[in-house]
Chain A
Amino acid sequence: MHTKVRVQTTINGEPQEFLCEPRQSLLECLRDLLGLTGTKEGCNDGNCGACTVLMDDRVVTSCLVLGVEAQGCQITTIEGIARGSELHPLQRSFLENAALQCGICTPGFIVAAKALLDQQPNPSEDEIRLWLANNLCRCTGYDKIIRAVKQAAEQMQEVNA
């Protein structure tokens, strides 16, 4: 048994402390230690994007981050995207546009798309496609996902206008 390390972090706005082995990924810590199973494992080598979370507003694949690296960081997972009982515009537009089928990639897409809209409120189709190129979806062919992100961007701009 490896000695566990104490990690202090903030997850979805709440201070959070956990003990993990040095070899455990942030993905494992979120899922197995903290019960935040909304973040998914698709490949465990950074190529599918299903485990995408925000780390100090940076998009990371949490399977390639060690749990111990989260020390002192602000982590946002899919569980932290909705505002209380109100869905985030991206979550609403994914539903309205039928932008998910099996749904396993959806948390990663929504987290990644949120990071995009936070820094580029009015992205073009090409910008959305480039930004989301690290998130694989095998069900939808991406068409409805691109539409959903565009629609959410428009709605968020209307609200902010």
Chain B
Amino acid sequence: MKTQEYTVVGTRPIRHDGVDKVTGRALYGADFQMAGLLYGHILRSPHAHARIRRIDTSKAEQLPGVKAVVTAGDFPEVPERMVDLGEGDTPLSYARGNVLAKGKVLYKGHAIAAVAATSVHVAEEAAGLIEVDYEVLPCVLTAPEAMQDGAAILHDDLKTKEFGEQTGRVSNVAEHFRYAMGDIEAGFAQAEVMVEREFNTATVHQGYIEPHNATALWNNDGRILVWCSTQGSFSVRDVTACLLDVPVSRVRVTPMEIGGGFGGKIPVYLEPVAALLSKKTGKPVKIVMSRKDVFEGSGPTPGSHMKVKIGARKDGRITAAQAYLAYEAGAYPGAMVAPGAMCVFAAYDIANVVIDGFDVVVNKPSTAAYRAPGATNAAFAAESVVDEIAEKLGIDPLDFRLKNAAKEGTRRADGPKYRRIGCVEVIEAMKNHPHYTAPLGGPHRGRGVAIGFWFNVGLPSSCTISVSADGTVNLVEGSTDIGGTRTSIAMQAAEVLGIPAEDVHPTVVDTDSVGFTAVTGGSRTTFATGWAAYEAAQDVVRQMKERAAKIWETEAASVALDRGVFQSGDKRMTFQELAAKLDQTGGPVVGRGAVNPRGVGGSFSGCIADVEVDPETGKVTILRFTSVQDAGKAIHPSYVEGQMQGGSVQGIGWALNEEYFMNDAGSMTNSSLLDYRMPTALDLPMIDTVIVEVPNPGHPFGARGVGEANIVPPPGAIANAIYRAAGVRMNRLPMNPPAIMQAIWSQRD
């Protein structure tokens, strides 16, 4: 698809922070150093569910080198209230309770106390000297278990809510909601083919390579200074201020480089604790999680129990679809089940739909977002059932999807009607790709397809651009750069200014130095912070035109900017020439952009996966993989491809290997990167990409966020490929060798 021609947008410049990242100079959170630095260590619960009877820190405090110990009791006493940490309210006690447990521990790995000492080894040793007296309680580890009558209850004050209505029923179900459209019974009555299946997926982790870290200094002037790796410096500021009961202006957060996040580095774990330790010691305190802490004490993404039923007519039209989604929130309410419900049938135009969502607490770590949170679980279920229906009808799986694909004007079950979307274009690109018709070339091989959706978000972003006398500009922004966004943002400013991307110098700054900017997440950064940069650049252009008009003694309205050249009548001046004249024409030019943009364009993604299943061992090898995604307009195609490849491979890991393997006592038995088996280079083929461009009418350059939708289809596509290779329909993730052999054996019986 042809989109408007641009000079900078759509090209592939070297990223601005690249040299520092290939030479080891880039400073990540754990690299931060400061005079007098103390090292912190967190003591974590060995039990999945227990009452804390007593904590005795005296022995730890006496160990030479230990400077302070803190527990939940060190947080300021604030009466229980709902706190608005952004858009969603939550009881303050839950927010604080996950950072340091009070009264009860709710999962193995739950933080209980923290030590600051002169070395990380002393701190660790001291944490081992803290004595905790536990009353161990029975634990619940899965949604179905936790929903049963008589299940162990995590929170005595948690009552099930049904769309704003308190049921008054104390249970582990925090919330039940329903999206419904049309007449589900009539829809199923029209169906000539029907498939209903049940699915379970395991808890998985985002698996970023850099562990969580934070350094805090409670300064002598009362300000709290924080350096950390986070997806959102402003949300760290707000949460830290809230838990420490100080105004937000007392906290300054400096985002260091961040080694991956995928949603998992939005939550705040360490910053308020490091600040408490710093307050007690008067010194800066750094805490870095171990890998085990990351698995057991940060936020993985929910395991789920799902049922999906779809009915269709013989002509291939889906008449009705129903989903039951019960997601495990972990220790505190907030499983990503609402977005799962938004996305489960989002790729299809279906008149009659019912979706029930359940947010269920269990004794596992409190879950966090993971790349299109909630959508991948749901799509695995829906795309497996869609595939089975297409097979029953004898229709090609892509033709079946095309026949039912969502388009502009299709209403989604959660309400909204789509604007211009690229679902059909993605499916057509899959169909047209040579991969789809290439021979499989051997036995025990199969090809599967699936599609997926993520709605993307907008949210606030701020940016300033100042013009230097040499004709370059400095761009200041607040979005932490996890995957090249300094460049995709700078390119949008460069396009407006008519200068090369290399002439824009982007810097990510602390929370004192730029306007509020929401997290790097929701596939929003290139879209929304890029938009702020676009606005800031427009502001620069407006001011520069005034300067040109002053020099030429004409009206600013008569001055035009075309590809870096200002013109009025027969007068011309390049951006660089005018930049050198700013001092004489009124002083510096600084442009600003602050947006909270609408017009977010959702992104569709699809993939084709070829697998080989070893019939003796159940091992699945990915032979070939193609990822297709609608980027609206790819600002920097290399990094769009990178998102698609990275999301695909995370989806492959989720599909085949990754899981929190829990024993009955609620202990994760595979909390290392050896046993939590993420894909290595050796496990994979090249990941082919096709960028589809259906411009988003809501963005100046037509961009859609591309960070997330790509992880949604792989598990479904791989399940469908396994079926064609081995003849078994898998109903659980991961589809590891034992699960596949089980399925093969039970089919033989």
Contacts and interface: CB of A to CB of B under 8 A. Distances in A.
B682 A41 contact: no
Of residues B31, B64, B209, B678, which shows the largest number of chain A Cβ atoms within 10 Å of its Cβ? B209
B639 A101 contact: yes
B14 interface: yes
A136 B678 contact: yes
Interface stretch (B254-262, B425-433, B511-519, B725-733): B254-262
Contact of B24 (A79, A125, A143): A79
Interface string A99-111: 0111111110010
A124 interface: no
B209 A79 contact: no
B260 A100 contact: no
**Secondary structure type dominating chain B contacts:** loop
Interface stretch (A42-50, A66-74, A153-161): A42-50
A105 to B, nearest CB: 5
A37 B24 CA distance: 7
B646 A136 contact: no
Given A102-B210, A102-B258, 10 more contacts: A35-B33, A42-B211, A47-B673, A48-B673, A129-B684, A133-B682, A136-B680, A140-B642, A140-B649, A142-B649
B281 interface: no
B420 interface: no
A132 B290 contact: no
A142 to B, nearest CB: 4
Contact of A100 (B18, B291, B648, B682): B18
B673 A139 contact: no
Nearest to A31: B31
Contacts of B23: 38, 78-79, 81-82, 87, 91
B704 to A, nearest CB: 19
A77 interface: yes
A94 B257 CA distance: 18
Question: Which 6 pairs of residues, A with B, have the shortest CB-CB distance?
Answer: A38-B24, A104-B259, A141-B649, A141-B645, A103-B21, A78-B24
A146 B686 contact: yes
Interface string A117-149: 000000001001110111111111111111000
Nearest to B291: A43
Interface in A49-108: 50, 77-79, 81-82, 87, 91, 94-98, 100-107
10 contacts: A40-B30, A40-B209, A95-B15, A95-B22, A104-B210, A132-B682, A136-B678, A139-B646, A142-B681, A146-B681
Contacts of B18: 94-95, 100
A23 interface: yes
A81 B566 CA distance: 44
A44 B291 contact: yes
Contacts of A95: 14-15, 18-19, 22
B24 A139 contact: no
A57 B27 CA distance: 26
A48 B209 contact: yes
B14 A101 contact: no
Given A101-B484, A128-B681, A23 B121 contact: yes
B472 interface: no
Contacts of A144: 638, 641-642, 645
A48 to B, nearest CB: 5
Contacts of B12: 98
Contacts of A36: 24
Interface in B256-311: 257-262, 288, 290-291
A112 B262 CA distance: 25
Contacts of A31: 31
Nearest to B213: A41
Task: Specify which of B22, B207, B288 lies most central, judged by the most chain A CB atoms within 10 Å of its CB.
Answer: B22
A9 interface: no
A103 B687 CA distance: 20
B65 interface: yes
Contact of B209 (A96, A104, A132): A104
Contacts of A129: 681-682, 684
A132 B681 contact: yes
A39 B25 CA distance: 10
Interface of B: 12, 14-15, 17-19, 21-28, 30-31, 33, 64-65, 121, 206-211, 257-262, 288, 290-291, 482-484, 638-639, 641-643, 645-650, 672-674, 678-682, 684, 686-687
A49 to B, nearest CB: 9
Interface residues of A, number: 58
A56 B553 CA distance: 70
A87 B389 CA distance: 55
Contacts of A43: 291, 672-673
Nearest to A43: B291
A139 B485 CA distance: 14
B209 A38 contact: no
Given A98-B12, A101-B639, A145-B681, A41 B646 contact: no
A94 B25 CA distance: 15
Nearest to A134: B680
A154 B473 CA distance: 36
B668 to A, nearest CB: 15
Contacts of A110: 22
Contacts of A35: 33
A7 B679 CA distance: 37
A141 B673 contact: no
Nearest to A128: B681
Nearest to A96: B14
Nearest to B32: A37
Nearest to B121: A23
Given A91-B22, A130-B682, A135-B681, A104 B28 contact: yes
B681 A98 contact: no
Contacts of B28: 37, 40, 104
B469 to A, nearest CB: 26
A37 B209 contact: no
Given A45-B291, A98-B639, A138-B260, A106 B22 contact: yes
Contacts of B678: 136, 138
A102 B261 CA distance: 9
B22 A87 contact: yes
A110 B483 CA distance: 18
A139 B260 contact: yes
Given A95-B18, A101-B646, A104-B259, A141 B211 contact: no
Interface string A2-35: 0000000000000000000101000000010001
A140 B672 contact: no
Given A98-B12, A98-B484, A102-B210, A140 B24 contact: no
A126 B121 CA distance: 41
Given A91-B22, A146-B686, A138 B27 contact: no
A38 B210 CA distance: 13
Nearest to B649: A141
A31 to B, nearest CB: 7
A137 B673 CA distance: 12
Nearest to B206: A138
Nearest to A142: B681
Contact of A102 (B27, B259, B641): B259
Contacts of B27: 37
A143 B687 contact: yes
